[in-house]
Amino acid sequence: METVGTAVDALPRPGLRERKKQRTRDALVRAALELIATRGYEGTTVDDITAAVEVSQRTFFRYFASKEDVAFFVARLAESHVVDAVRGRPPGEAPLEVLRRAVLDSWDTINEAVEQLVPLDLHMRVYRVIESTPALLAAHLRRATELEEELARIIAEREGLDVDADPRPRILVAAFGGVIRVAERRWSAGDDLSTAAMRDLMTTCLDHVGPALAENWRTG
């Protein structure tokens, strides 16, 4: 029996059953991501994944709603960190600045949390597959808009506005999200998959929003 290593003393002690579930889920995630990163998404069947972990296909679908779902297990982690970072911004800060700083600042904690689960390198290889696989890219974009909706509500609450009455929260977040995706795409397409490179790209892209919306690009 391989133990997990880190001494986790949660208040309600996990219990054997709960720990077994955790191990199965993690094993499925790791096996799935490893296979997807090497063979590609369509080249990996659910049976491949379950065979690697030695569980039945049915069990896989009890842990994950779909084959897509397991590919975004790590991404879900990252999203929750971004949401927390936005919530943690000081009141009075300008909305756009809230988003900008939250995204840039959360990268380090995100990477830390990801490494608890899978090697960072694996996560990045999977991300490339997501960007280059139509079905996964589509799912990624849908997830992104759901995140945007959540962020818009948070921003609206900060500003004391009604999201459905005032369009600015959703518009700001949508524009911001679009820019972030441009950065993500450049990142996944480029050579440098480091965190620093990602931060630089996002900074650059965000700095160009103003000029891009300006009347005349020549004066830039």
Q: Which residues bind to its own copies, rule: CB under 8 A?
A: 94-97, 134, 137-139, 141-142, 145, 159, 161, 167-179, 181-182, 186, 204-205, 208-217, 220
Q: Say how many C-beta atoms besides its own lie within 10 A of residue 205's C-beta.
A: 19
Picking from 157, 135, 212, 154, the residue whose alpha carbon sits closest to that of residue 179 is 212
Binding partner of residue 178 among DNA, its own copies, none, CB cut-off 5 to 8 Å per kind: its own copies
Site string for DNA, 170-199 (x = CB under 7 A): ------------------------------
Looking at the Cβ atoms of 59 and 195, the one nearer to DNA is: 59
Contact 150, 157 (CB under 8 A): no
Given 59, 80, 109, 195, the residue binding DNA (CB under 7 A)? 59
State the nearest-atom distance from the C-beta of 11 to its own copies, in Å. Answer: 35
DSSP state of 18: H
Given 4, 8, 20, 116, the residue binding DNA (CB under 7 A)? 20
3-state secondary structure of 52: helix
Residue appearing with tokens 């909706």:
149
Picking from 42, 100, 95, the residue whose alpha carbon sits closest to that of residue 71 is 42
Binding partner of residue 66 among its own copies, DNA, none, CB cut-off 5 to 8 Å per kind: DNA
DSSP state of 218: G
The Cα 132–Cα 7 span in angstroms is 38
Contact 37, 126 (CB under 8 A): yes
Binding partner of residue 13 among its own copies, DNA, none, CB cut-off 5 to 8 Å per kind: none
State the nearest-atom distance from the C-beta of 202 to its own copies, in Å. Answer: 11
Q: Which two tokens stand for residue 36?
A: 């997807």
Looking at the Cβ atoms of 46 and 182, the one nearer to its own copies is: 182
The stretches of the chain forming alpha helices (DSSP H) are 16-39, 46-53, 57-63, 67-71, 73-87, 95-115, 120-132, 134-158, 168-189, 195-207, 209-213
State the nearest-atom distance from the C-beta of 178 to DNA, in Å. Answer: 27
Of 2-10, 15-23, 102-110, 189-197, which part binds DNA (CB under 7 A)? 15-23
Binding partner of residue 61 among its own copies, DNA, none, CB cut-off 5 to 8 Å per kind: DNA
Q: Is 52 in the site for DNA (CB under 7 A)?
A: no
- Which residues contact DNA (rule: CB under 7 A)? 15-18, 20-21, 24, 44-47, 54-59, 61-63, 65-68
